[in-house]
C-alpha cells in the first residue's frame, strides 16, 4: 500500500472514525484503524463491536492498493501533529507503516487486516431523512436525561419513535424525562428503536450544524446513520422502553409562566449551596415555593442557606415542593424560548416544563424530592 493524502481531509476522517475505538479491550485489533484503498479513495474503519464508523476520503493519490490495520490513537496523533500539507503513507517490506511528511518519518507496527471484524450488513427496514442540524438539536436537548447506570440498560439509550409522521426522541433516567418532537412533513412508516446514549453522544460530535441531510435507517437490532462519506453503525438496545406519553400528567394544579433565563440563573446560584457535595443533593433539595405572582427558591443545609425570588405569572394553588436543581438547569439551559410554562401537581407529583406555544415541540418531566416535613 502506498498513498498520498491531504492532512486536513485525513484529520477530519480520523476525528470521526476514532470515536468508535474502545476505551478498554482485551482485543488489540479493536484498538486499530482499518485503512483500505479503492482506486483513488481511502476507506477508514473503526469498530468496537457495538459502534462502528466508516469514512471514505475521495480524490487521494493511490500508487499501490492495499489494506492494513494500525493503532488508531498513535496514527491519529502523528497525523494531527504533522505540517498542514500532503502526507505520504507506505507499507514497507518489513510490514511497518511509514508516515512521511517533509522532514518527518515515522514507522508504526501493523496488524493483519483479515483479523479486523467486519461491520454488520444492515438490511434497513425503515428509514427517515433529516437535516443534520435538526438531529443535532434533538439529541442535544434530550441526551442529558439518558441513564448512566447500567442497572436498567434500556434507559441508557434514547427512544427514536416515528409515529403519525412525527419523530419523537425520548430519554429517561428514572428521575426525569426529556421528549423532543419533530414533524417530518411527509408520510413515513411508523417504527421505534432505542439507540445507545454513547452512540448519540459520538454522533452529535460528528454531524454538522447545517442543513445537509442525514439518513437514519433501522433493522431489527441495528441502526445506520449515513452522512456524505461517513457511515455509522450501532447496535440497538433491547427491552421494553417506558410508555412515556402515559406517565406525563395532562392536568396541573399550579402553573407558572416564567422568564427562562432568569429562572435558570436562580437555580444556578442556589445550586452553589445545594450541591456543595453530591451526596447531599437528595438530603438537601432546593425548595420551590409558589405564591400568587411569585416563586421563591431556597435551600438550607450545613454549608449555609440561600433564597431567590422571581416574579412571574402564576395560576392555580400555592405550592411547596423540593427538587434537584441540576434537573431544572439541564432543561432550562437547553431551551431557547424566552418564556416557559412549568406545571405542578402536588408536592410529590412530577413537574412538567413545556412551551408556551400550543404547538410546542418539547416536554420535560422532573420528579420532586420529598421534603423533610412531607
Residue 277 has pLDDT above 60, yes or no: no
Is 58 a residue whose pLDDT tops 50?
yes
Report the predicted TM-score, pTM, of the whole model to 2 decimal places. 0.93
Mean per-residue pLDDT, 341-366: 96
Look up cell 429517561; give the residue.
172
The per-residue pLDDT of the chain, averaged, comes to 94
Q: Which pLDDT tens digit goes with each residue over 201-243?
A: 999 999 999 999 999 999 999 999 999 999 999 999 999 999 9
Q: Where are the alpha helices (DSSP H) in 129-190?
A: 132-140
pLDDT of 303: 79
138, pLDDT greater than 50:
yes
Q: In this predicted structure, what is the pLDDT of residue 11?
A: 97
CA 319 to chain centre: 34
Separation of CA 28 from chain center: 27
In this prediction, residues 179-198 reach a mean pLDDT of 97
Average confidence (pLDDT) over 51-61: 96
Cα separation, 31 vs 21, in Å, equals 6
Give the pLDDT of residue 275: 67
State yes or no: pLDDT of 280 exceeds 50: no
Could you tell me the sign of the dihedral formed by the alpha carbons of 341, 342, 346, 349, in that order? positive
Band of residue 122 on the pLDDT scale cut at 50, 70, 90: very high
DSSP letters spanning 212-259: -EEEEEE-SSEEEEEETTEEEEEEPPPSPPP-HHHHS-S--SEEEEEE
Asked if pLDDT for residue 356 goes beyond 60, the answer is yes
Q: What average pLDDT does range 6-15 have in this prediction?
A: 97
In contact, 50 and 101? CB cutoff 8 Å? no
Q: Which residues of 259-287 are buried (b: 16+ CB within 10 A; e: fewer)?
A: bbeebbebbbebbebbbbeeebbeebbbb
- Distance from C-alpha of 87 to C-alpha of 101, rounded to nearest angstrom: 5
Residue reference for cell 439529541: 139
What distance in Å separates the CA atoms of residue 61 and residue 241, rounded to the nearest whole number?
A: 48
Q: Mean pLDDT across the stretch 109-115?
A: 97
Q: Determine contact, residues 230/244, Cβ cutoff 8 Å.
A: no
Give mean pLDDT, residues 264-281. 75
Q: What is the set of domains in the chain, with CATH numbers?
A: 2-115 (3.10.150.10), 126-243 (3.10.150.10), 248-366 (3.10.150.10)
Q: pLDDT band at 373, cuts 50/70/90?
A: low
pLDDT tier, 282 (very low <50, low <70, confident <90, very high otherwise):
very low
* pLDDT > 70: percent of the chain: 97
Q: Are 87 and 75 in contact (CB under 8 A)?
A: no
Cα torsion angle, 161, 165, 167, 172, sign? negative
CA 164 to CA 115: how far, in whole Å?
A: 44
Q: Pick the residue with more confidence: 303 or 5?
A: 5
Q: Name, in order, each residue with C-beta under 8 angstroms of 237's C-beta and a sequence gap of 6 or more.
A: 153, 154, 156, 157, 194, 195, 196
Q: 34 pLDDT exceeds 90?
A: yes
pLDDT at 24: 86
Cell of 276: 456543595
pLDDT band at 281 (very low <50, low <70, confident <90, very high): very low
Report the 10 Å Cβ neighbour count for 117.
14
Amino acid at each position: 500500500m502506498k498513498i498520498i493524502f491531504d492532512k486536513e481531509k485525513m484529520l477530519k476522517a480520523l476525528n470521526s472514525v476514532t470515536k468508535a475505538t474502545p476505551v478498554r479491550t482485551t482485543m488489540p485489533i479493536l484498538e486499530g484503524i482499518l485503512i483500505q484503498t479503492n482506486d483513488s479513495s481511502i476507506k477508514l474503519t473503526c469498530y468496537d463491536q457495538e459502534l462502528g464508523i466508516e469514512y471514505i476520503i475521495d480524490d487521494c493519490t493511490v500508487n499501490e492498493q492495499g489494506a492494513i490495520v494500525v493503532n488508531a490513537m498513535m496514527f491519529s496523533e502523528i497525523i494531527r501533529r504533522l505540517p498542514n500539507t500532503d502526507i505520504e503513507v507506505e507499507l514497507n517490506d518489513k510490514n511497518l507503516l511509514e508516515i512521511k511528511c517533509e522532514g518527518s518519518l515515522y514507522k508504526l507496527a501493523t496488524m493483519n487486516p483479515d483479523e479486523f471484524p467486519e461491520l454488520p450488513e444492515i438490511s434497513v427496514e425503515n428509514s427517515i431523512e433529516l437535516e443534520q442540524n435538526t438531529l443535532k438539536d434533538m439529541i442535544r436537548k434530550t441526551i442529558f436525561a439518558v441513564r448512566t447506570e447500567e442497572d436498567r440498560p434500556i434507559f441508557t439509550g434514547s427512544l427514536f419513535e416515528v409515529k403519525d409522521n412525527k419523530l419523537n426522541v425520548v430519554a429517561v433516567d428514572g428521575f426525569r424525562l426529556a421528549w423532543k418532537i419533530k414533524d417530518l412533513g411527509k408520510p413515513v412508516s411508523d417504527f421505534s428503536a432505542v439507540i445507545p446514549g454513547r452512540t448519540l453522544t459520538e454522533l452529535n460530535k460528528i454531524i454538522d450544524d447545517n442543513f445537509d441531510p442525514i439518513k437514519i435507517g433501522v433493522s431489527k437490532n441495528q441502526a445506520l446513520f449515513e452522512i456524505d462519506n461517513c457511515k455509522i453503525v450501532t447496535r440497538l438496545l433491547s427491552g421494553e422502553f417506558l410508555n412515556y406519553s402515559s406517565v406525563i400528567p395532562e392536568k396541573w394544579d399550579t402553573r407558572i409562566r416564567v422568564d427562562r433565563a432568569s429562572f435558570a440563573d436562580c437555580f444556578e446560584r442556589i445550586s452553589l449551596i445545594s450541591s456543595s457535595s453530591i451526596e447531599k443533593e437528595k438530603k438537601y433539595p432546593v425548595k420551590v415555593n409558589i405564591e400568587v405572582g411569585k416563586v421563591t427558591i431556597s435551600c438550607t443545609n450545613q454549608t449555609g442557606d440561600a433564597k431567590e425570588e422571581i416574579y412571574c405569572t402564576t395560576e392555580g394553588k400555592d405550592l411547596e415542593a423540593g427538587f434537584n436543581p441540576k434537573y431544572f438547569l439541564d432543561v432550562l439551559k437547553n431551551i431557547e424560548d424566552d418564556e416557559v410554562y412549568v406545571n405542578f401537581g402536588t408536592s410529590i407529583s412530577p413537574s412538567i416544563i413545556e412551551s408556551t406555544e400550543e404547538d410546542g415541540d418539547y416536554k420535560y418531566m422532573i420528579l420532586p424530592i420529598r421534603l423533610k416535613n412531607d
